[in-house]
Structure 1
């Protein structure tokens, strides 16, 4: 089969063996696979990517050689391995969380040698995690289920309540997914922030209530106009008077060094800060500011099988228009150029690979 495989940190389109399904596994043919920001991070700094994985309790692999990336996939069933229930006929379009499991061990599909990802013509999926794509749903749109399930997890962990002011910093696919999920769950106002006019426009189409260009104004100057009490002393005074203060949650979806420090400095008192963007470098935060403002900093990573299933239903039933985020498609031969193009935010948000 043809696949884009890592060689010395670069992608090389080569002929590689078709994977053989083992016990409990299914061989599928890739129909569509999104290029994820994590793929860009991994290719840009594979050493840091592996180190963060190791220190987080994962099993790191050197992705510089012999890895077929791609974990936002939709495929069709080709064949079953031994010990499978074979509940879906061949030709069924399927997707699922990128969890590889079998006699080879376990790992994230697209980051583990035993489980090549969707930047190749064929993949192995665990039958237990495989879900049929609802009829009529475009495979390219269904491929957005994975990144939007990451957003769904971040929203769940943020615990917004009715009336919570939500600010989303960074409108790549995950940030757009956070906007869409918040609005699908009935939350708002949602403030969407990005330097890219293209991405702000996409956030507006997904329901964002306020769009901010941080080159023109600081998003942190909006708190009072949104009914938020920014200062801790003023918030405590409101509590003494029995006034319930408006809750705030900030989703940091950029994942760049320095962003956390900026958010801590700009956040209003008692805000919840959700770290959703994956930053591979250290940041500087003043603990005294975090404590004095009573900030709650939470991490969020990936999406559970349950969150994946719910997100797939939300997309298929029209509550989330995930296809809005797709701004381009490519084949394997154009993959390297597509990755470069994703570095220009005003050009693209999500590019789908069709092997």
Structure 2
């Protein structure tokens, strides 16, 4: 089979032996495979990625000296099953799989990020049978290959616990940022603001359902905080809080009970959720400085360099 081999930051098309599935594995013919930001990180910052993974206890990532095949955003057709592996789907069934492979003596490895678990930049790839599912409802292969990045976006939105009434602000409209917009609208979030320097990406953000799209060179994504019922600075927060405190004292109710009741009624300032989908040093600090008060920030972009923030803000 032909594969795209990554070695010392260089990509090369090579001929390799066909893959043979082991117990619990399924051999797939690759139909589509996306290019993820992680693939670019592994090509250009392979040793750094390996060291970061090792620091959190995962030693399966490739080093720059290891020839390996990238690609974990794949879908493919079933070709063959390993020994003693249940035939879940017929041959030629279009499937996707979580990019993890159980390899003897190594345990579970990240498909496409390890020299012992070749990825989808090839004519064939191995998938773990237990982590494989059929592409439903006649979905086309191009869309099915987006399953993994869309799962990243869904995870980010779920982690944010955003409410439908809370404004969401997406900084960076690359593939994952666009996925976050789609997932926010699918979750029923009423107001989604998208920000990106690229006019093409801003257009895509509109097509994905963003309600407000801004060019950060001209307009801050936080510019309309008053319109959304947000608090923009500490002075406003103190004045609002003390004014409410005085009114609650007149009711002779404990102020914290009154505060909670007013919050449940939705009368307090809204708490925006901001998704950082850029992964470039300095962006997180810019968000912390510019965001309205009571914002929640969800880090989605993968920053490969050291960064600096001021938590006191």
The structural deviation recorded for 1:226 is 2.3
Structure 2: runs of 5+ lacking an equivalent: 245-261
Give 1:64-103 correspondences, 5 Å limit: 65-103=66-104
Q: Does 1:176 align with 2:178?
A: yes
The structural deviation recorded for 1:64 is 5.0
The structural deviation recorded for 1:238 is 3.4
Give 1:143-162 correspondences, 5 Å limit: 143-162=145-164
Instruction: Please give the TM-score of this superposition, normalised by the length of structure 2.
Output: 0.88
Q: Which has the higher contact order (CA 8 A, sep 6+)?
A: 1
3-state SS, counterpart of residue 219 of structure 1: coil
> In 1, Cα distance between the equivalents of 2:129 and 2:239?
56
Aligned-pair Cα RMSD in Å: 1.5
3-state SS, counterpart of residue 230 of structure 1: coil
Contact residue 52 and residue 280 of structure 1 kept, 8 A: no
Q: Does 1:10 align with 2:34?
A: no
> In 2, Cα distance between the equivalents of 1:68 and 1:232?
51
Contact residue 227 and residue 246 of structure 1 kept, 8 A: yes
How many residue pairs align between the two structures? 289
Contact residue 235 and residue 245 of structure 1 kept, 8 A: no
Distance 1:94 1:50, change over 3 A: same
The structural deviation recorded for 1:157 is 0.2
Look up the match of 1:213.
Answer: 215
> In 2, Cα distance between the equivalents of 1:34 and 1:63?
21
Higher radius of gyration, 1 or 2 = 2
Structure 1: runs of 5+ lacking an equivalent: 290-355
Look up the match of 1:267.
Answer: 291
3-state SS, counterpart of residue 184 of structure 2: helix
The structural deviation recorded for 1:65 is 3.2
Contact residue 99 and residue 106 of structure 1 kept, 8 A: yes
The structural deviation recorded for 1:71 is 0.5
CA deviation map 1:149-205 (0-9, x unaligned): 100000000000121110001111100000000001101310011011111111111
Q: Does 1:46 align with 2:70?
A: no
The structural deviation recorded for 1:270 is 1.6
The structural deviation recorded for 1:237 is 4.2
> In 2, Cα distance between the equivalents of 1:275 and 1:35?
21
> In 2, Cα distance between the equivalents of 1:236 and 1:26?
61
Instruction: Please give the TM-score of this superposition, normalised by the length of structure 1.
Output: 0.78
Look up the match of 2:230.
Answer: 228
> In 1, Cα distance between the equivalents of 2:25 and 2:65?
26
Q: Does 1:26 align with 2:50?
A: no
3-state SS, counterpart of residue 61 of structure 1: coil
Distance 1:247 1:100, change over 3 A: same
Look up the match of 1:253.
Answer: 277
> In 1, Cα distance between the equivalents of 2:6 and 2:131?
26
Give 1:316-355 correspondences, 5 Å limit: none
3-state SS, counterpart of residue 178 of structure 2: helix
CA deviation map 1:129-156 (0-9, x unaligned): 0000114211011111110110000000
> In 2, Cα distance between the equivalents of 1:36 and 1:130?
20
